[in-house]
Amino acid sequence: MNTQNLLVELFVEELPPKALKKLGESFSATLAESLKAQGLAAPDAAVTPFASPRRLAAHIANVAAQAADKPVSYKLMPSAVGFTPDGQPTPALLKKLAALGLDASAAAHLKREGEGKAEALFFDKVETGATLVEGLQKALEEALAKLPIPKVMTYQLADGWSCVNFVRPAHGLVALHGSEIVPISILGLNAGRTTQGHRFEAAVSPVTLTNADSYAAQMTDEGAVIADFVQRRGEIVRQLEAAAAKVGGGVKPIHDDALLDEVTALVERPNVLVGQFEESFLEVPQECLILTMKANQKYFPLLNAAGNLTNQFLIVSNISPADASAVTGGNERVVRPRLADAKFFFDQDRKKSLDSRIPKLANVVYHNKLGSQLERAQRLKKLAGEIARLLLADPEKAERAAWLAKADLLTDMVGEFPELQGIMGQYYARHDGETAEVARAVEEHYYPRFAGDTLPHDNIGAAAALADKLDTLVGIYGIGLVPTGDKDPFGLRRHALGVLRILAEKGLPLDLIQLLELARGLFPTEMLANSVGQDVHGFMLERLKGYLRDKNFEADEVDAVVSQNPTRIDLVIPRLLAVRAFRKLPEAASLAAANKRIQNILKKTEAPAGQADVALLQEKAEKALFEAVTRLAPAVTSLVANCDYSEALTALAGARAEVDAFFDEVMVMTDELTIRNNRLALLKSLGDLMNQVADISRLAG
């Protein structure tokens, strides 16, 4: 096929910055996928996405002017429906043929496939390949329909009557196949070859594109726009680093990928400048200043080598004047009131202690079915104390931290910046004279806040964090607000993972069911179902599976351990490591298969209670297996009790010969009931012994 490169651009008003990256990726990907599906582009055709504040575009390599013809086969209907017994086409078949533009004579040329009642009629034809005009029109409509648009707006077209729906008003459409315009239309726009550059700094306006391949260079040189999102992002990173190096003193711009993506979506040609503010503002906790600069002004604060905030910051400007002092000065004037507000909030908040704020938590609803934040604080205090006692930590400090944990929700700073809850609680707790452990735990009771986040520093913090998450899990799950699909408004999956990480990674010797029941016991009896502890435990084990797979354990290894419904989460990874070592042994496959066979037998026939009777053993192989089980049981049980799981599984591997011989030589399901039950009892003892660490039958094929 004769192919040329294709360029499609939709020029619009400023797109939502937080969505721009995904919009650009979706636009180019859907456009390319549709063209490939229609045979207009090769399956491996290179696709380059472009996205700037005012445009979505895609460059697709080697696109054909027309797709190749292709044979297609239409299944019409069963032969018995299409023809009468004497071989004449039925009205149903004639109607179907007419819909395909065929007359009755085509019935004689239909292909038959299948036999008897399954025989069907097929019509074969060669379809003409789609033209690029047809295919690109279809692809563009699909691309716009599938855009992950946060919110659609309706606007009028130039005729004053027609209205269209899109994320922002669109003002231009470019479609170039090589140097030729592809005559398509969308959103009331007809395709051409002109587009707009930078609002203020374009060398030429409009920019007339020579061909599809000149797009990026012309936009840079004539339009003063870096159209490629990734390239523009990289240029911002380069300039941020260069500006920080120019400031000197080892300062570094704060690392924040989300902020970087957002700023990339706000500028067309970045120009990084350095601003500063009065050092007196540094008396305010740096988290407050950093957040206000990032969230409100999109600045990049500069941190010194120790990670502390300096009084300088970086501005990513969209203009590059010869004298940038006016731009810098304007940004400094804008940020100053923001920082002053933060300082005012901080000063005002410290006039009241956290403890004095707690009674007003009674006016803050936690959930209409679960009461107020004050009632929750009372539960957290009791639960954190109980957990601290189990950990042999100071229960009074854990209770104090949990009691104060939600008080900062009533401060002006957290009211303005909810992201600072917990962080400000620690600062205010220290100001109030609380101990270092209590103040730190006030912040750390939210830890971990997201996947991969830091865990609480000590057991005081761990007790407060576990209490907070367990109370949420039991309470919200208990009133029926179970996550469904991707909907999890109360973050129960995140809370579950947080509990699991604290227990596993800090190695805390706590029983999860016991913790859940402690949390359940602090709610009124009639409020939650009695089974909520067990229900939440099952919910958390599903999260545990994903957590362990992310740690590169095999799915069957995870299944072998988690299928036993563990309650000591700190012992799960040691068991998994033992299972991983066991499966490398030459005996592992045989024992796993034998264990699976045992479970299958016992599922069909329940084994009698008690141990096998040595007097009823008849065959040599079953006597040998009985002796092996009797010999190994004390050692394996002792090893498991001492958490020496790898040695326990290695010891079991020593019984392979006896296990293999038993299944080769002994018929378990003999007709004699007494002998059969005795052999079933022996197998149950063997199965129980083999599965003390994990259900190793899950490792079998």
pLDDT on residue 484: 86
Q: What is the second-level CATH architecture of the domain 3-67+131-221?
A: 2-Layer Sandwich (3.30)
Burial class of residue 556 in the structure, from the number of CB atoms within 10 Å of its CB (0-12 exposed, 13-18 middle, 19+ buried)? middle
3-state secondary structure 123-189: EEEEECCCEHHHHHHHHHHHHHHCCCCCCCEEEECCCCCCEEEECCCEEEEEEEECCEECCCEECCE
Q: How far apart are CA 417 and CA 198, in angstroms?
A: 34
pLDDT of residue 701 exceeding 70, the answer is: no
pLDDT of residue 688 exceeding 90, the answer is: no
pLDDT of residue 150 exceeding 80, the answer is: no
Render pLDDT for 597-627 as a digit per residue (tens, 0 to 9). Answer: 888 888 888 777 788 888 888 889 989 999 9
Tell me the three state secondary structure of residue 252. Answer: strand
Render pLDDT for 172-205 as a digit per residue (tens, 0 to 9). Answer: 999 999 999 999 999 999 999 999 999 999 999 8
Q: pTM score, two decimals?
A: 0.81
Question: Regarding the domain delimited by 355-552, which CATH topology (the fold level of the hierarchy) does it fall under?
Answer: Hypothetical protein af1432 (1.10.3210)
Q: How confident is the model at residue 118 (pLDDT cuts 50, 70, 90)?
A: confident
Tell me the three state secondary structure of residue 61. Answer: strand
Q: How confident is the model at residue 669 (pLDDT cuts 50, 70, 90)?
A: confident
Question: Regarding the domain delimited by 574-699, which CATH topology (the fold level of the hierarchy) does it fall under?
Answer: Isoleucyl-tRNA Synthetase; Domain 1 (1.10.730)
Render pLDDT for 27-71 as a digit per residue (tens, 0 to 9). Answer: 999 999 999 999 999 999 999 999 999 999 999 999 999 998 888
- The two three-digit tokens of residue 66, written as one number: 């027309």
Q: How confident is the model at residue 288 (pLDDT cuts 50, 70, 90)?
A: very high
pLDDT of residue 122 exceeding 70, the answer is: yes
pLDDT of residue 458 exceeding 90, the answer is: yes
Query: What are the structural domain ranges in the chain?
Result: 3-67+131-221, 73-127, 229-349, 355-552, 574-699
pLDDT on residue 579: 94
Q: Which amino acid is at 102?
A: L
Q: Tell which residue, 187, 171, 190, 188, has the closest CA to residue 133.
A: 190
- The two three-digit tokens of residue 502, written as one number: 């604290």
Q: Do domains 3-67+131-221 and 574-699 have the same CATH topology?
A: no
pLDDT of residue 292 exceeding 90, the answer is: yes
- Burial readout 504-516 (b: 16 or more C-beta within 10 A, e: otherwise): bebebebbbbebb
Query: H/E element holding 659?
Result: helix 656-665
Mean of the per-residue pLDDT values of the chain:
93
pLDDT of residue 1 exceeding 80, the answer is: no
pLDDT on residue 336: 96
Q: Tell which residue, 627, 602, 600, has the closest CA to residue 684.
A: 602
pLDDT of residue 426 exceeding 70, the answer is: yes
Contact partners, residue 291, CB within 8 Å, separation at least 6: 417, 419, 420
pLDDT of residue 378 exceeding 80, the answer is: yes
Kindly list the distances between the CA atom of residue 524 and the CA atoms of 381, 382, 479, in Å, as whole numbers in the listed order.
Answer: 16, 14, 12
pLDDT on residue 595: 86
